A = this chain, B = another copy of it.
Amino acid sequence: MSQTYEIFDHSVHLVADLSGIFIFAVTGALVAVRMRFDVFGIMALAEITALGGGVFRDLVIGDVPPAAFRDMGYFLTPIIAGGLVFFLHPAINRIGGAVQVVDAAGLGLFSVSGTVKAAVWGIEPFHAAAIGVATAVGGGVLRDLLAMEIPSLLRRDREMYALPSVLGAGTVAVLLQFGLLGPISSGAAMLATFVLRLLALRYGWRGPLAWKSEQLPAPGGKEPGQGRGAGRGQPVS
């Protein structure tokens, strides 16, 4: 396959990847602790949250076996994150804002690096961006499903999560299309995703509901926003 788009030095890429995996594993483990899963459930949810998006990406682009099953660091990082959360969850929850900031960094990183990897494997830029978004948000969707919560990605009572990812991945796609992708421009795309997510959190930006949705009957059960669950970056208070 072409390596034209390999914009990062391999070791930079690995460190960045493992950082993102660590953060997403922390969010998975925090949900597991809140749901009172036992230590095995904590580790399982940490692994699935951290690696789920990347495994989907690799299956779709044909990089089999997925990187998560080739590199021991990918497998051990969520275990370390789960172990830290197992002991330190009260302290981590106290710095909940910090977790959200780092989660936003993970979102930017995976949106961009997932798009780049898909493009390296020969996917056209705009489809690569779709795969990049799936890489960034996929693990969180699996985490929420396994905790029986409506994925916070989809919920209106959560600050915008998809849009920053779409923006970052889409920027990379445009750069790829015009042959302009480089370390600086891809770093800028990561930063834009990160900042937009932080702004959404800071100012409570949410996506619009469907037009005339006030005409809808009340949902039969409970409001989707009133479940027992908190989502990514909404730690136990």
Copies of this protein, total:
3
Q: Which residue of B lies closest to A93 (CB)?
A: B216
Q: Which of A7-15, A19-27, A185-193, A207-215 contacts B (4 or more CB under 8 A)?
A: A207-215
| A120 at the binding interface (Cβ < 8 Å) | no
In the assembled complex, the Cα of A156 lies from the Cα of B38 at a distance in Å of 5
| A55 at the binding interface (Cβ < 8 Å) | yes
**1/0 per position for A14-38, CB-CB distance to B under 8 A?**
0000000000000000001111111
Contact call A75/B154, Cβ cutoff below 8 A: no
| A70 at the binding interface (Cβ < 8 Å) | yes
Contacts of A231 on B, CB cut-off 8 Å?
none
19 inter-chain pairs at a CB distance below 8 angstroms, sorted by A residue, are: A33-B216, A35-B154, A37-B156, A39-B207, A40-B154, A40-B160, A40-B162, A40-B166, A41-B153, A41-B154, A41-B207, A42-B210, A61-B65, A65-B123, A72-B126, A75-B127, A148-B148, A216-B236, A217-B237
Question: Footprint of B on A, CB under 8 Å?
Answer: 32-42, 44-45, 55, 59-62, 64-66, 69-70, 72, 75, 85-87, 89-90, 121-124, 126-127, 130-131, 141, 145-151, 153-156, 160-163, 166, 206-213, 215-217, 219-225, 227-229, 236-237
